[in-house]
Chain A
Amino acid sequence: SYELTQPPSVSVSPGQTARITCSGDALPKQYAYWYQQKPGQAPVLVIYKDSERPSGIPERFSGSSSGTTVTLTISGVQAEDEADYYCQSADSSGTRYVFGTGTKVTVL
């Protein structure tokens, strides 16, 4: 089955930049999306179509894509950004959807 691989954790000091990668074979053909999830809450979309930011999401969140890897970048990390982040995409046929393994961002 199709899988998306993320690092389990990323630690960053306030004001620094956090980068979270997500790797998958079908990423050159399918868009990637990123979701933020805080404890006890539903996920929230923070990036869509690889690099687009929904309204209401701070500009410090950005996305990029290169080959089989997509990256979520949080510039000038704030304490409120501490959360789990998941990438999401689809297999090459678009009939199976998959989430990445998840990355816990800790703000030191």
Chain B
Amino acid sequence: QVQLVESGGGVVQPGRSLRLSCAASGFTFSSYGMHWVRQAPGKGLEWVAVISYDGSNKYYADSVKGRFTISRDNSKNTLYLQMNSLRAEDTAVYYCASAGEFGCSGGSCYSGAFDYWGQGTLVTVSS
């Protein structure tokens, strides 16, 4: 069965960096786009970033653009989120989710449903 397992969360000081990982199994990881989504304590869901199946297309929410980098290693079936210059408002549970399908053409993209989700990893930014 499909399994997504996030890791790498923890407590980090403002301004520091952290890298999250998402290990995928049970499906052909290299064929799927992948998203990161976060949820601050007691708040709603916020989309963070998406990456195409081959890593050639990446898009970010304005709140993280220039600070976060999404990447993937298809040989390891793993998705990453490098988070730099962390702020208190980045405190959240971070989920990875498979996109079902994701493709871009002529500056426009399409993502399928966020059909499978991991259980999330908590990132706390605090001094």
Contacts and interface: CB of A to CB of B under 8 A. Distances in A.
Interface string A11-49: 000000000000000000000010101000111110011
A95 B114 CA distance: 15
A45 B62 CA distance: 25
A66 B53 CA distance: 32
Place the interface of chain B in its size category: 20 to 34
Chain B contact residues, majority secondary structure? strand
A54 interface: yes
Nearest to A48: B113
A100 B104 CA distance: 24
A97 B58 CA distance: 12
A48 B30 CA distance: 22
Nearest to B110: A94
Contact of B35 (A42, A95, A97): A97
A95 B111 CA distance: 9
A99 B47 contact: yes
Interface in A65-108: 84, 86, 88, 90, 93-102
A99 B92 CA distance: 16
B113 A42 contact: no
Contact of B114 (A33, A49, A84, A101): A33
B26 interface: no
Contact of B109 (A33, A54, A94): A94
A93 B113 contact: no
B108 A99 contact: no
B85 to A, nearest CB: 20
Nearest to B120: A42
A86 B111 CA distance: 17
Contacts of B44: 84, 86, 99-102
B50 interface: yes
A99 B45 contact: yes
Interface of A: 1, 33, 35, 37, 41-45, 48-49, 54, 84, 86, 88, 90, 93-102
